[in-house]
Each structure stands twice: as structure tokens, then as C-alpha cells.
Chain A
């Protein structure tokens, strides 16, 4: 538990290049390149806040756990707190490709019942980064 607290502090103190293997900007760029079109933050917002069917019934929306304000912390259905999603308040967000990919895969499946497209990922990160 201690390590989990120390790590973000260290990451925040370190220069951006050492904070992880990537950054929100680099990820937006990579996902956009994959999809072939520019990110649309408004679409990311709609996807993040919208209620969906097709996923698991307990998680109809990203906001179910992350709340409607990504600058604030959320809470998993188990009661465990979730750190804010917006990189402006939580600089360690979107700095680790494997971590980002793991959670997109799991959570898109939980909420939408499918994987997210590269375009959707770019849209969501673009919206979260704009906050």
C-alpha cells in the first residue's frame, strides 16, 4: 500500500520523460494514427458520460465508477477509491501503455460489451486531457 502512494509522488517529481513510457499526448497521437482521423474530445465526453447497453448490467457507464467529474476521484463497486482520471489533477494517468491498454480492454468490455476502437480511445484521452 505504501508503495502505491509513494510511486505517484515520485512520478510527479520526476521529469516527464521518466514518468512512464508514454504521455497523454503521445497516446492520442498513436491512437489517432491507428484510426486515421483526428480525435474528437466531444465524442469522448459523450462516450465516457453516456449510459450504454451491451455491457455488464452493473456498469452501464464509465461514470458508474469514475463519476461524472473525472477531475474528482471515483469509487469502484467494491468500495475501493479510484484516483481521478484527468491528467491535470493526476499526472500519472496515461503514462504507461500496458496499464492503459489493460484497463481499456477490461472496462470497455464491462461497459460496452466490446473492446474500444482506437478512435474511441483517442477521443476519451483527448477529452480527459482537456479538463
Chain B
């Protein structure tokens, strides 16, 4: 197909080539915007931006799906058959390029640019897949919630982050390639992605005409969206295995005794042995005497043990499940907690409404449920002391 598409243009047949169709241009700039938003919210902003991050990520994946369909049903320059390079063509292009400038100009994607297109599309799909896995395992949300255990969260989040770093590198290379090629050809390629047109020059490698099938493409994209959406809804609705005990089911003795001084920490935040060690030293409870009558202490310890981290499949439970029971350490003093809060301004914890790092519920509206979902974060407003 490559050979067929590389027909020499008759000199100055038209002053301009119509290269990038409207959908392709819309796709390009929407993808650039959504990936930028996803990168900024993911790398620079804290977890309270997760909604925007997810929205941007989902939009990027839908755009790429639509682009793939357009790669089969779009006009000539949008089609994969036009620009997907074979290894031989790529080698020849590189050889030509390294020896000096290639003589002929590719009006569509040149073989190296085409490789970048494929890499970027694959990276977005990979980010979508690992993001979905992170969401499912870690946040117990979405179609993979009942399929992936929370203990895999670390793997998926690290893979997701690594892919994000890769796509960042690809974007830098892509911009470098556009600047380089724009200079070399004396034509602003970024503007061509806005107007869709390129100047016609003699010797241009142009693609033979291919009719676009927008109605077919739209139908396929809609069918994919509908079936994908239906699958997501069906899978997301399945009941979770081993969810944390609901706050409404906390026994009165726990609310009366423990939650008199601090929020009712969820029993799944510590392992059974960690709770037992903590309850054994209530006379020196994080710097205060919180001692209880023996039978009350035993009753609370039994309940904490029965609902401890080992019994629950969610992210907070998996984070502190292996915490050493002794010495009894406050969760904010653990590396896990500090890594999760590294983007939080330390001054926030001094605000009157928060006052202490142990006051989870000041920002995590769902703290007592044991979920600590990023969707439930609301930072209290600045407040005079």
C-alpha cells in the first residue's frame, strides 16, 4: 500500500493539499488538551482533582478509539494503510534523513512521524487500561472493582505512572519532531494541523484519494461506545467482596469510648495484631491516658479484631495491613501516609478545622467508612485561629 500511496504529485496541480480533515484536526487538538489536563492533574495536583483527571482520561481514550475507527474509514491521510510504515520504508527514510535531507516531502505523516502517531495512540490506550485497573483495584470503582484485588494497587499505579512518564517523553519528542520538520521544510506544521492545508510543492509524496465514510465511522464509534458503556455499567454494578464494615454498624461502645476523643477510626485501618497491641497500652495512648475498664477494652478489642484489615479488600486496608504491631505507631507517622499526603500543604493541618493529622474526617468526608475515596475529599476553607 505504501508504494501505491507514494505517487509523485503533478507539479502545482493545486496550490494547496487538503491533508488533515476536520475530524482529524478536532481529534488532534482535543487529544492534546485532554492529555495535558490528565498529565497536570495526575502529576502536579492532589487527589481532590481525581474527577477532572478521570474525565480527561476517559475523553482521551474515547478520542483514540474514534481515531482508530477513522484510521480505517477516514479520508486518505487519516488512514493507517496510508502512513503505517513497513520496516524497510522506515530504514530507507532514516538512511536518507541521516545522509542529509530526504529529497521528497511526505505530505501526510512521514515514516518517523507515523511511528510517533502509533506510539502515542498505544500509550493513551495503555494509560486508559492501567488507569482503569488502578481505579478498580485501588478505589474499588468501575468495571474492574470486583476483578482486581486492592493488593495490586501499587503495581497498577506504578505502571500507570510509568506510562504517563513515557507519554510525556513522547510528547516532547513529538514537539521536537514538529519543530525540526517545520524548519527543514519551511512550513509551519502546527498551523497545518489547524487549517488542514499544506502548500503544494513539486515532488511531494501525496496519497491517492480514498473516500471517507463518516456515517459508517460514526455508527461504529457509537456501537463501540454503547457496548463499552453497557459493559462498564454491568460490571461496575456487581457487589464488592469483603467490603469494610459500615460506620452505621459500629457498636455503641466504640462510638462512646473511642470516638469521644477522636474520629471513629475504621477497624480495617490496622491489622488484628496492631489493634491488640494498641489496646493493650491505652494508659499511654499517643501521649494521653485513654485507659478503659478491662471488660470494655476487651469488648472493643474483639470487635476491632473481627473487622480488621485482614478481613477487608480495599486500598486503605491493604496499605497498613503489614504494619508492625510494635511499637504502636500513629498512621500519619508511616511512610505510606506521608507519601499519600506529600502534595498536601503542611499548613492545612494547622487550620482550626483540621488541627491534627489524625483528624482524617476533616478532609475525608468518608473517613469513618474506611474508604478514603479521592472523590470524597473536601478541604476545609481557611479559617482564623
Residues of A within 8 A of B (CB): 1, 4, 56-59, 75-80, 105-107, 109-110
Contacts of A110 in B (CB 8 A): 287-289
Chain B 175-200 interface mask (CB, 8 Å, partner A; 1/0): 00000000000000000000000000
Taking each of A56, A78, A106, A110, which has the highest tally of chain B beta carbons within 10 Å of its own beta carbon? Answer: A78
In chain B between 345 and 381, which residues have their CB closer than 8 angstroms to a CB of chain A?
352-356, 358-359, 362
B355 and A75 form a contact (CB under 8 A): yes
3 nearest CB pairs, A to B: A79-B359, A79-B355, A78-B262
B290 within 8 Å of A (CB atoms): yes
Question: Can you list 21 contacts pairing A with B, beta carbon distance less than 8 Å?
Answer: A1-B255, A4-B255, A56-B284, A56-B289, A57-B287, A58-B288, A75-B352, A76-B261, A76-B262, A78-B261, A78-B263, A78-B359, A79-B354, A79-B356, A79-B362, A80-B260, A80-B261, A80-B262, A105-B289, A105-B291, A109-B289
Residues of chain B in range 253-277 having any CB-CB distance to chain A below 8 Å: 255, 260-263
| Bound CA span A78–B341, Å | 18
The complex places the Cα of A4 from the Cα of B262 at a distance, in Å, of: 14
CB of B283 within 8 A of CB of A77, answer no
A105, B290: Cα distance in complex, Å: 9
CA distance A101 to B287 in the complex (A): 20
A79 near B358 with CB under 8 A, answer: yes
Q: How large is the interface on B (under 10, 10 to 19, 20 to 34, 35 or more residues)?
A: 20 to 34
Q: Report yes or no: A58 in contact with B355, Cβ–Cβ below 8 A.
A: no
Determine the distance from Cα of A105 to Cα of B261 in the docked complex, in whole angstroms.
15
Given A56-B284, A109-B289, list of 7 further CB < 8 A pairs?
A56-B289, A59-B287, A78-B261, A80-B263, A105-B291, A107-B289, A110-B289
User: Do A109 and B287 touch (CB < 8 A)?
Assistant: no
Q: Which residues of B contact A59 (CB under 8 A)?
A: 287-288
User: Given the complex, which residues of B lie within 8 Å of A107, measured CB to CB?
Assistant: 289
Contact B358 A78 (CB under 8 A): yes
Q: Which residues of A contact B288 (CB under 8 A)?
A: 56, 58-59, 77, 106, 110
Contacts of B255 in A (CB 8 A): 1, 4
**Chain B 283-312 interface residues, beta-carbon cutoff 8 Å to A:** 283-284, 287-291
Q: How far is the CA of A65 from the CA of B71 in the complex (A)?
A: 67
Chain A residues with CB below 8 A from B287, complex form: 56-59, 77, 110
In whole angstroms, what is the CA distance A56 to B285 when docked?
10
Minimal Cβ-Cβ distance residue in A for B354: A79
Residues of A with C-beta under 8 A to B355: 75, 77-79
CB distance from B330 to the nearest CB of A (A): 10
Chain B, residue nearest A78 (CB): B262
Q: Given the complex of chains A and B, what is the CA–CA distance between A56 and B355 in angstroms? A: 19
Query: What separation, in Å, do the CA atoms of A76 and B353 have in the docked complex?
Result: 12
